[in-house]
């Protein structure tokens, strides 16, 4: 539908030399060898109704009358509208396009949500909003934002909620960032399997461990960045396929150090075993309902047992209240103690308040891959430093 309107408007702007409705009307009555009065009778309209439309002097045009004139001139509906708009002032045509852009913005963006994110300043200044979106994503025009592959999940429902629009915006931003990074390394699945076997001890390095793992993954063709989650959504992580390579986003949902390690292994499981499924639609979100992947529980089990196999979990649970014992075995098992507490609290949520204090937080650990995109002018501005950090030998 949008492409049809795009074509029509493009034709209008490029057809300055097209004949006017007046010229076609005069030619038509000569060709038919009839008088104007006879033409009015054929149209079922009087002179006062026909002439202002032909001369572009009507303050308001009755659509049926315009289409009847078009039919008399042997024009189809699209051509009739095109010629009428073309003989209007340029300002009227621009106003039509402004209205169309405004409609598109309201349909596709949660303006209040974008303001809360700091992406826009004023929800009423639509021209400024359009310029901001086009500039940020590097689009040719606002209508390019509606990439069907990336937004079909968010916009597949008949009633689109504010959170659907924000989720689509988050997805579009994430994909644009990965396209800009453009990881030059080939994806090596065997190397990924080897790296996974060595990740665990890095969780004990609170400052640099997560980044070192992400850097190693980058050189195996897997790009990992960190990005804050969008309010009103539950996205914990996401796996995209860009240029046939897995790209992973880890979010700050729950704001726990243990969660980012768990989420990373969850997404790496998808990269290992579900890449072909994800390729068919370009991305998968973890934490949100997904109609295509039904193996979230399997990915969760993989991540959990990777860090803490069932037998070790059962062994440590009776001593969970003894921090000294938990620390001792966490060191022996090459994992951060907070992971033990996290898994226990997943099973026993009422204990979060008591054991949250053993989670060091995540700000320092993700600093070098932290995309804070929504206050930047362009996607490229966000990504350059992260790309340099990942590629630095």
- Residue 30 belongs to domain with CATH number: 1.10.260
Query: 88, 119, 144: which is the final residue of a domain?
Result: 88
Q: How far apart are CA 389 and CA 157, in angstroms?
A: 40
* Domain span at 265: 167-391
In a domain, 148, yes or no: no
Same domain, 276 and 378: yes
Same domain, 208 and 337: yes
Mean pLDDT, residues 177-205:
97
pLDDT exceeds 80 at position 292: no
In a domain, 371, yes or no: yes
Query: 66, 88, 110: which is the final residue of a domain?
Result: 88
In a domain, 151, yes or no: no
pLDDT exceeds 90 at position 178: yes
In a domain, 128, yes or no: no
Q: How far apart are CA 253 and CA 86, in angstroms?
A: 52
Same domain, 191 and 73: no
Same domain, 219 and 347: yes
Q: How far apart are CA 81 and CA 78, in angstroms?
A: 5
Residue 89: predicted pLDDT = 62
Q: How many domains does the chain have?
A: 2
What is the tens place of the pLDDT at every residue in 61-81? 899 999 999 999 999 998 898
∠333-336-340 over CA atoms, to 5°? 80
Contact 210, 366 (CB under 8 A): yes
pLDDT exceeds 80 at position 124: yes
> What is the radius of gyration, based on Cα positions, of the chain?
30
In a domain, 383, yes or no: yes
In a domain, 66, yes or no: yes
Residue 306: predicted pLDDT = 98
Same domain, 287 and 180: yes
Same domain, 175 and 304: yes
Query: 88, 115, 150: which is the final residue of a domain?
Result: 88
Average pLDDT, the chain: 89
Same domain, 82 and 211: no
């Amino acid at each position: 539908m949008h492409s049809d309107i795009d074509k029509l408007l493009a034709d209008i702007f490029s057809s300055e030399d097209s004949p006017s409705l007046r010229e076609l009307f005069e030619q038509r009555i000569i060709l038919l060898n009839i008088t104007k009065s006879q033409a009015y009778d054929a149209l079922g309209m009087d002179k006062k109704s026909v002439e202002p439309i032909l001369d572009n002097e009507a303050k308001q045009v009755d659509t049926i009358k315009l289409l009847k004139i078009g039919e008399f001139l042997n024009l189809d509906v699209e051509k009739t509208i095109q010629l009428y708009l073309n003989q209007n002032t340029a300002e009227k045509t621009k106003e039509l396009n402004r209205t169309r852009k405004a409609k598109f913005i309201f349909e596709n963006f949660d303006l209040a949500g974008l303001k809360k994110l700091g992406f826009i300043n004023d929800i009423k200044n639509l021209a400024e909003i359009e310029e901001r979106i086009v500039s940020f994503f590097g689009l040719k025009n606002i209508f390019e934002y509606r990439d069907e592959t990336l937004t079909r999940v968010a916009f597949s429902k008949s009633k689109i909620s504010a959170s659907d629009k924000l989720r689509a915006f988050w997805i579009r931003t994430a994909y644009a960032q990965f396209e800009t990074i453009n990881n030059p390394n080939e994806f090596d699945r065997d190397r990924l399997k080897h790296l996974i076997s060595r990740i665990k001890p890095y969780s004990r390095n609170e400052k640099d461990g997560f980044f070192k793992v992400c850097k190693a993954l980058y050189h195996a063709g897997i790009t990992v960045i960190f990005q804050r989650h969008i309010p009103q959504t539950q996205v914990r992580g996401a796996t995209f396929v860009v240029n046939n390579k897995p790209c992973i986003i880890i979010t700050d949902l729950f704001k726990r150090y243990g969660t980012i390690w768990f989420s990373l292994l969850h997404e790496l499981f998808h990269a290992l075993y579900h890449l072909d499924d994800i390729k068919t639609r370009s991305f998968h979100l973890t934490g949100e309902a997904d109609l295509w992947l039904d193996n979230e529980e399997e990915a969760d089990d993989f991540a959990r047992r990777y860090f803490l196999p069932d037998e070790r979990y059962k062994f440590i649970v009776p001593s969970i209240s003894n921090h000294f014992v938990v620390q001792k075995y966490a060191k022996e098992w090459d994992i951060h103690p907070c992971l033990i507490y996290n898994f226990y609290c997943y099973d026993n949520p009422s204990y979060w308040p008591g054991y949250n204090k053993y989670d060091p937080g995540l700000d320092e650990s993700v600093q070098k891959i932290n995309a804070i995109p929504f206050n930047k002018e362009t996607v490229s501005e966000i990504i350059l430093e992260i790309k340099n950090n990942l590629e630095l030998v």
